[in-house]
């Protein structure tokens, strides 16, 4: 059992820059009472990527480089774990500079931080190592490795999707009964996972093309709605009061016996239908309602069948689309097992879920322990 461990975690898998600090009171059992979130900060890039209608990796990387160190300072101050530095290790700073030669902006901010501050009481640094956009991931990894090297703090790598699986445990919850089924639905991932125990998972179904969140984004773009598409389509769907166009979209793969998904055909159906009709406000509302219904119907149907086949006792939701109110309503109405839904602030990409995995899961990868060599990949 590990007690009173403080973990600094970093998440930069896509377009959210996130840093969190968690204090684990006990790692024997995954329970809300066994840890405390000392700080949880996220800097969103939504407004920056909105003109592109999606995440532009090079822009996301640049924004991470600009945001990481200021967010780190703010997070450490909030947790009261930052003090002024009395000693400076110029040899280590020189080595970090060499390894960050392609990340000059990040290095200059980090150098100022290292010469000005001392981190206190951090026992472990956790960082997302995938899946995600490589330019974004490596920005967070570069910062984590540099901090680990300079302060000689053990560093571990965490799977982003395992973070989403455990994200509902960041809020008060019932006791988890196993086995369980986890449904991860986000902009980049749609997976059904058999959850035998913490750290032991098996993917039983996943998308063959577009993820559910990606489908929301692409269909929203067709309708002229803003990015991200999920909240925009849900908003319009709730406003729908008519059925002038009598729209019926396919429910892709809903009758297939497997647990895989495919949403690219749904996007294509929306595109063809919209070309044949005038895009009025009523049309957008009716189409939004049918898009949301189609996606939710497929997700719910396949998940419920998986619960029955695998005799699951719990269902866990995770990922940005798990905040969709229609999806939650359908699961609450139709599932007979314990339902675990993340707090809305933990449905998207966040660093607290990464810290949680680093405490409770046996899957964490020891990147460097202790720090003896600083090798940063580009």
Q: Do residue 270 and residue 122 come from a single domain?
A: no
Q: pLDDT at residue 367 above 70?
A: no
- Following DSSP, what letter does each residue of 137-151 receive, concatenated? HHHHHHHHHHHHHHH
Residue 343: per-residue pLDDT: 95
In a domain, 70, yes or no: yes
Residue 232: per-residue pLDDT: 97
In a domain, 377, yes or no: no
The whole-number average pLDDT for the span 352-378 is 67
Q: pLDDT at residue 109 above 80?
A: yes
In a domain, 378, yes or no: no
CATH number at residue 182: 3.30.420.40
Q: Do residue 103 and residue 208 come from a single domain?
A: no
Distance of CA 222 to the CA centre of its chain: 25
- Following DSSP, what letter does each residue of 179-224 receive, concatenated? SEEEEEESSS-EEEEEEEETTEEEEEEEBSSS-HHHHHHHHHHHTT
Q: Do residue 326 and residue 186 come from a single domain?
A: yes
Q: Do residue 187 and residue 335 come from a single domain?
A: yes
Question: What band does 376 get if pLDDT is binned at 50, 70 and 90?
Answer: very low
Higher per-residue pLDDT: 281 or 53: 281
The region of weakest confidence among 102-106, 297-301, 368-372 is 368-372
In a domain, 374, yes or no: no
Rounded Cα–Cα distance for residues 297 and 368 (Å): 44
Residue 31: per-residue pLDDT: 76
Q: pLDDT at residue 5 above 60?
A: yes
In a domain, 313, yes or no: yes
Distant-in-sequence contacts of 375-378, Cβ < 8 A, 24+ apart:
375/99, 376/99, 376/100, 376/138, 376/141, 376/142, 376/145, 376/146, 377/138, 377/141, 378/102, 378/138
Q: Do residue 108 and residue 62 come from a single domain?
A: yes
Q: Do residue 187 and residue 334 come from a single domain?
A: yes
Q: pLDDT at residue 375 above 70?
A: no
Q: Do residue 231 and residue 360 come from a single domain?
A: no
In a domain, 373, yes or no: no
Rounded Cα–Cα distance for residues 208 and 46 (Å): 26
In a domain, 169, yes or no: no
Q: Do residue 14 and residue 31 come from a single domain?
A: yes
Q: pLDDT at residue 369 above 60?
A: no
Q: pLDDT at residue 137 above 60?
A: yes
Average pLDDT score, the chain: 92
Q: Do residue 193 and residue 324 come from a single domain?
A: yes
In a domain, 129, yes or no: yes
Picking from 170, 269, 291, the residue whose alpha carbon sits closest to that of residue 225 is: 291
**pTM for this predicted structure:** 0.93
Tally of domains within the chain: 2
- Each residue's pLDDT tens digit, 157-216: 999 999 999 999 998 788 899 999 999 999 889 999 999 999 999 999 999 999 999 999
Q: pLDDT at residue 325 above 80?
A: yes
Residue 71: per-residue pLDDT: 98
Q: Do residue 318 and residue 251 come from a single domain?
A: yes
Inter-residue contact 217 to 272 (CB < 8 Å): no
Residue 152, phi-psi category: left (phi > 0), alpha (psi -120 to 50), beta (remainder): left
Rounded Cα–Cα distance for residues 329 and 303 (Å): 14
Backbone phi, psi, residue 371, to 5°: -70, 125
Question: What band does 97 get if pLDDT is binned at 50, 70 and 90?
Answer: very high
- Each residue's pLDDT tens digit, 219-254: 999 999 999 999 999 999 999 999 999 999 999 999
Q: Do residue 210 and residue 301 come from a single domain?
A: yes
Most confident region among 22-31, 111-120, 322-331 by mean pLDDT: 322-331
Inter-residue contact 315 to 307 (CB < 8 Å): yes
Residue 372: per-residue pLDDT: 35
Residue 96: per-residue pLDDT: 95
* SS3 at position 158: strand
Inter-residue contact 106 to 69 (CB < 8 Å): yes
Residue 34: per-residue pLDDT: 85
- Each residue's pLDDT tens digit, 244-288: 999 999 999 999 999 999 999 999 999 999 999 999 999 999 999
Q: Do residue 227 and residue 182 come from a single domain?
A: yes
Q: pLDDT at residue 335 above 70?
A: yes
Domain span at residue 211? 176-341
């Amino acid at each position: 059992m590990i007690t009173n461990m403080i973990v600094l975690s970093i998440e930069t898998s896509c377009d959210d820059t996130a840093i969190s600090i968690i204090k684990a009171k006990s790692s024997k059992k995954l329970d809300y009472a066994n840890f405390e979130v000392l700080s949880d900060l996220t800097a969103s890039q939504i407004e920056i990527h909105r003109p592109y209608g999606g995440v532009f990796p090079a822009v996301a990387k640049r924004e991470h480089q600009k945001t990481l160190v200021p967010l780190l300072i703010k997070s450490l101050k909030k947790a009261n774990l930052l003090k002024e530095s009395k000693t400076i290790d110029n040899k280590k700073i020189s080595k970090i500079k060499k390894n960050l030669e392609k990340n000059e902006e990040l290095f200059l901010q980090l150098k100022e931080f290292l010469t000005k501050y001392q981190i206190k009481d951090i026992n472990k640094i956790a960082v997302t190592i995938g899946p995600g956009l490589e330019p974004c991931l490596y920005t967070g990894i570069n910062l984590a490795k540099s901090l680990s090297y300079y302060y000689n703090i053990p560093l571990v790598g965490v799977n982003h999707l395992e973070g989403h699986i455990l994200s509902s445990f960041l809020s008060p919850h019932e006791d988890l009964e196993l086995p369980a089924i986890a449904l991860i639905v986000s902009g980049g991932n749609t997976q059904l996972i058999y959850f035998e125990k913490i750290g032991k998972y098996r993917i039983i179904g996943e998308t063959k093309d577009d993820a559910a969140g990606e489908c929301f984004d692409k269909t929203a773009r067709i309708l002229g709605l803003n990015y991200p598409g999920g909240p925009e389509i849900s908003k319009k769907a709730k406003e729908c009061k008519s059925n002038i166009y009598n729209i019926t979209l396919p429910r892709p793969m809903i009758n297939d016996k497997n647990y895989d998904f495919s949403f690219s055909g749904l996007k294509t159906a929306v595109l063809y239908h919209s070309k044949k009709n005038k895009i009025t406000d009523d049309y957008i509302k009716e189409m939004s309602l049918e898009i949301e219904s189609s996606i939710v119907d497929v997700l719910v149907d396949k998940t419920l069948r998986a619960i029955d086949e695998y005799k699951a006792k719990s269902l866990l939701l995770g990922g940005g689309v798990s905040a969709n109110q229609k999806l939650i309503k359908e699961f609450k109405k139709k599932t007979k097992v314990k339902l675990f839904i993340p707090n809305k602030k933990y449905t998207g990409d966040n660093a607290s879920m990464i810290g949680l995995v680093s405490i409770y899961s046996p899957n964490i990868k020891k990147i460097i322990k202790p720090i003896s060599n600083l090798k940063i990949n580009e």
